[in-house]
Chains A and B, each alone.
Chain A
Amino acid sequence: MTELDVASRPVIARGTRLQWEGAQGAHVLLYPEGMVKLNASAAAILTRCDGARTVAEVIGELERTYCAELGKDVLAFLTLALERNWLELRP
């Protein structure tokens, strides 16, 4: 796996699916025999990880939407999501 930096393009990992679940009122990540319910900020980040946007673009969009400096938080969450195999990096 390549290292995470602002130019990498994260995408939901193969075998993992992100979807909105009305019954839970939340986005969830589904993976082999498991599921996590995402809070609103995790969902805002992960829904933008489409393998096309770079990390810098994801951060830029979120900062414009929420009018706050979010770079550090987003990077920390992406690192965690990579560790948990929720995300993969597109070269």
Chain B
Amino acid sequence: MSAQVEEAPPKRPGPPLWLLLELTYRCPLHCAFCYNPTDFSGIGPELDTADWLRVLREARALGAVQLGLSGGEPLAREDLESIVAQAHDLGFYTNLITSGVGLTEGRLAALKEAGLDHIQLSFQDSTRRINDFLSSTRTFELKSRVAALIKKYRYPMVLNVVIHRLNIDHVEDILAMAERMGAEYVELANTQYYGWAWLNRAQLLPSREQLRRAEDATRRFRERVGSRMRIFFVVPDYFETRPKPCMNGLGQVFLAIAPDGLALPCHAARMLPGLAFPNVRDADIGSIWYDSPAFNRYRGEAWMRDPCRGCPERARDFGGCRCQAYLLTGDAANADPVCDRSPYHHLVSAIAGTAEQADHAVARGQPLLFRDYRAR
């Protein structure tokens, strides 16, 4: 007699509650940790205003409610105000994710008028030297001005600082700066190693000791400011033994639309091979979300293999990040190698290990690649 394995019937996924529109890959900055695809200069033309407005209507009708507007630099789109106005009328909560470049008082007033709910300002460091070095441009003063404008227009002040080896020792100064600017939320987000950051991982990954000091500094700061300022510290998962529950599972709540209209279950997913991601120029959001093979490919658990299949923790982390599995093991259906049950976990340990030797990559003379528009 053979045992029957009862597979639970696949549940119909909920709606894409979180919609991210990457309005453009254009950006005046050249961050070395940019998560945009490294071949973005070869990607097709941007959607026009009418397409974006249709995407908003279709997604809202399905139940999407949190809206991120990012890029590149979303302010590079002159129709940003119209997009925000439409989103607001539809009942979205609108989040603008910006480097602040191009955010004049005139545009901010217009965005407020259009109903923009929230602005997340990215900051590379508290010192001008590092900030300008990492974004490869002189933007520090500009960002300080923009922070003041955000306050003036009575927005909650949300700072996002991408953390890595070259600025992690400044965490205390960064938090002090955030406090001076009146920040209510601060995200200290360790770099996610995709796109340009993946190319630069050897230079950007902090050591365990740096990480520990930064976490201590954050804890002391939290104790001092209490609930006045909320601080999120996102650790680089290369130091973990269990992966992050990436996107709550692909195709569960998150839908990203790239500048060229490609619909993605995670903004980094364009890199995954063998998936024909649908384009909003050809299909409506409902059929993309519920019916397209690309969105169903890594939904639920059917795609899992050992060690994830049958693992008691699979409902917690969904096997981790497909992009990380692909980048490190060459196959997106493997367990995220951050997991120490993965036979490829040694690859992650090896990367984390190199970060222990001080200034290893710099010492080897490996240059930091700044995001640029050259064809790769």
Contacts and interface: CB of A to CB of B under 8 A. Distances in A.
Interface of A: 14-15, 17, 19, 21-24, 28, 30-35, 83, 85
Contact of B17 (A14, A22, A31, A35): A35
Contact of A15 (B63, B65, B156): B156
B103 interface: no
A28 B66 CA distance: 11
Contacts of A83: 227
Interface of B: 15, 17, 62-63, 65-66, 68, 91, 93, 95, 117-118, 120, 154-156, 158, 184-185, 227, 230
B63 A24 contact: yes
Contacts of B63: 21-24
Contacts of B156: 14-15, 32
B91 A32 contact: no
A31 B68 CA distance: 12
A85 B185 CA distance: 11
A39 to B, nearest CB: 17
9 contacts: A14-B154, A15-B155, A21-B65, A24-B17, A32-B95, A32-B158, A33-B66, A33-B95, A35-B17
Given A14-B154, A32-B117, A35-B66, 9 more contacts: A17-B117, A32-B156, A32-B185, A33-B68, A33-B120, A33-B158, A35-B93, A85-B184, A85-B227
Contacts of B68: 33
Contacts of A19: 91
B15 to A, nearest CB: 5
A55 B47 CA distance: 49
A34 B187 CA distance: 13
A57 B154 CA distance: 29
B117 A15 contact: yes
A85 to B, nearest CB: 7
Nearest to B65: A21
Contacts of A32: 95, 117-118, 120, 156, 158, 185
Contacts of B185: 32
Contacts of A24: 17, 63
Nearest to A83: B227
B118 A35 contact: no
